[in-house]
Chains A and B, each alone.
Chain A
């Protein structure tokens, strides 16, 4: 008899074990506790429409571990939701007076954070600087500065020629962003609208990118203000 009772208790416990626990726990019409865990980390993203909290207790490790097919985000903030953050740090930039004898350069910066993804690509769109029907010609891949010729190009790394300007991508602690190959050679400037200028091969913390712009003009370049509006597009895969 007791064996039968014991067997019944075992089956009951197994049923409990095989019941989706999330259906009953950590959720109400107004609140949800997502990925609550017991251990060294706290509960992440306890939120309602008006409030959100994240908590942490004694993370053993933080960061990203990845192979070709898998990756693990370690630490308290392990929301399963995708996150994409883009910020233009300095979106307006003047090249000053253009000259046929010296190069004109300037920089702009932006940051990208793309979490819980399989990486992202950053594309740039927009024409080279124009003045009416006049256009400063884009320079091909691998071009160095040549004053006196039409050149419009960019790169995303630190340069020393023709000036010391620009920076390599700043990945902070958890960023994995990098300049794409055509835009990662110091002192070489290139531009094609629609090109991928930067990428991250996996989920990445914040990366700050600095675009260095180079403009050279021919002596006969018609006078006037040459300008362009360019747009950054980031596409993440989740």
Chain B
């Protein structure tokens, strides 16, 4: 009898060990719901332009994509926002879902929902309960969600499906996704405002680019003595470039030619020179022999192309063989193709003088000042 009890005792011990091993080997998921798989939360920018959807406190869209493993009836899907993935849910600071609306669900295999957003942080979608197939892929977007207001804040959304239409009862499938707000990157750099402007009797180019370093002195003499039978001429040059967004304008400033109390009359309107009249005028064009025995002047160089060369003479000063002089006039600007910045160009100013026979003798001079004003 004792021997028999010993055999049974050993057998009982073996069975107990086998059963204990099975406890470890055939364990069960303690949670009744099935795990939602392939789940993600994508933050998409909303009304706030270019915030990318992760702006702290931004009004954005939350797009959930996930696979529901369980076939059966689904009447509601809950999205519970928390600071931690599991355990007692704490609402992320600043998160607002009470204005949330249902966004696009057209690509979802599970659709036909309406939004219930009465509880902040726990909105849910509801519909008349209907069946879904196993592994149905849901793509559901909640619009008008205000992100948590803390930057770089990780938050979790616990997704649960229910057969009921109001998230009551036991969850069918559950899964948690996470996302984070992000501190924006602020990037800045300064483009210095620039204006290069110079005047002189001549200005040359260096490597095909007008170079103010080559400008010569600005004391200019006319080509001949003033005469009632011939037109005296002279030229000067100026170069300008700017990155001003609205370009530049150049004005000429100064009195007409003067000798004591005697003057040469400035040409108040754009007209051709007439020998024997009292005339002092200028333009910015290439003139012909119609004006003087030797043609004077030149077109703006390089020629404007309405893109990176925008300099041009202004009406009154932009017609060959006609001249004008009013102090303060704008004689040129950089508006060819629209006002804007321009690369350096050389303007050639041509001056003419005609005098009547009664013009008092003397040396007639003037000091002209050119002012180039950029508008940024």
Contacts and interface: CB of A to CB of B under 8 A. Distances in A.
A98 B194 CA distance: 12
Chain B interface residue number, banded: 35 or more
Interface class of chain A by DSSP:
strand
B191 interface: yes
Nearest to A13: B19
Nearest to A112: B180
Interface string A205-226: 0000001010101011111111
A108 B192 CA distance: 24
A83 B28 contact: no
A85 B341 CA distance: 46
B193 interface: yes
Nearest to B376: A223
A132 B39 contact: no
B14 to A, nearest CB: 10
A238 B176 CA distance: 8
Nearest to B86: A81
A127 B38 CA distance: 31
A231 B188 contact: no
Interface stretch (B44-52, B110-118, B312-320, B357-365): B44-52
Chain A interface residue number, banded: 35 or more
A124 B53 CA distance: 10
A21 B245 contact: no
A231 B30 contact: no
Contacts of A23: 30
Interface string A31-70: 0101000000000000101000000000000000000000
A10 interface: yes
B294 interface: no
B151 A129 contact: no
B188 A225 contact: yes
Residue of A6, A94, A220, A234 most packed against chain B (CB within 10 A)? A220
Contacts, number: 228
A235 B175 contact: no
A106 B40 CA distance: 33
Given A82-B85, A82-B178, A220-B343, A227 B42 contact: no
Contact of A22 (B22, B28, B177, B186): B28
B19 A96 contact: no
A71 interface: no
A92 B16 CA distance: 65
B57 to A, nearest CB: 12
A201 interface: no
A19 B26 CA distance: 9
B22 A225 contact: no
A193 interface: yes
Nearest to B374: A223
A18 B190 contact: no
Interface in B89-124: none
Contact of A224 (B20, B50, B193): B193
A101 B27 CA distance: 70
Interface string B154-189: 101000000000000000000111111111111111
16 contacts: A17-B20, A17-B23, A18-B22, A32-B87, A34-B86, A88-B151, A93-B187, A118-B38, A221-B243, A222-B244, A224-B245, A225-B190, A228-B188, A229-B185, A233-B43, A234-B179
Interface of B: 4, 8, 11-12, 15-16, 18-20, 22-23, 26-30, 38-43, 45, 50-55, 84-88, 151-152, 154, 156, 175-194, 242-245, 308, 340-343, 376
Given A20-B28, A236-B40, 17 more contacts: A6-B11, A9-B12, A17-B23, A21-B30, A81-B84, A92-B185, A97-B190, A123-B52, A129-B189, A225-B188, A226-B190, A227-B187, A228-B188, A229-B185, A230-B187, A231-B185, A234-B179
A-B pairs, top 8 by smallest CB distance, nearest first, are A22-B30, A125-B52, A95-B189, A223-B193, A231-B52, A81-B85, A13-B19, A222-B245
